[in-house]
Structure 1
Amino acid sequence: MFSDPAPEILSNEFIDSVVVTDTLPLTEHQRFESLTVLPIAPLIARAIHEVFDNGSVTSMFDGAA
């Protein structure tokens, strides 16, 4: 995900934070202090539940801006 020199550039003091999902693995070399990795599994699980419960996947994003 982060090829060199991305981790060094993104850990710059002028960048407050970088947020990514855990869909791709990151090595220790690719991680830096201001990086936040969010799990995607709960969102995928909810989408699967909505599909099999005849719910609405679109409703998961209602009000998201």
Structure 2
Amino acid sequence: MKKINLRDYYPYYTQDMIVEMPDEVALLLREYTLLEEACRIRTYRYKAFYSLDRDEGIEREIL
């Protein structure tokens, strides 16, 4: 059993909330955090930001 702080995973916790959970669940939470950070870094590195503009060319005119 591992102890984790739910405040690290859920932003609506304002105080530390330490809970015990099985090792498998703690590893899944850690893996999810690492995958999410890797996705954010790839998006930043390759400038893969998506626009919600309706028509094509609006952003092209700005650039």
* TM-score by shorter chain over 0.5: no
TM-score normalised according to structure 1 size: 0.33
TM-score normalised according to structure 2 size: 0.34
Higher RCO (C-alpha under 8 Å, 6+ residues apart)? 1
Larger Rg, first or second structure (1 or 2): 2
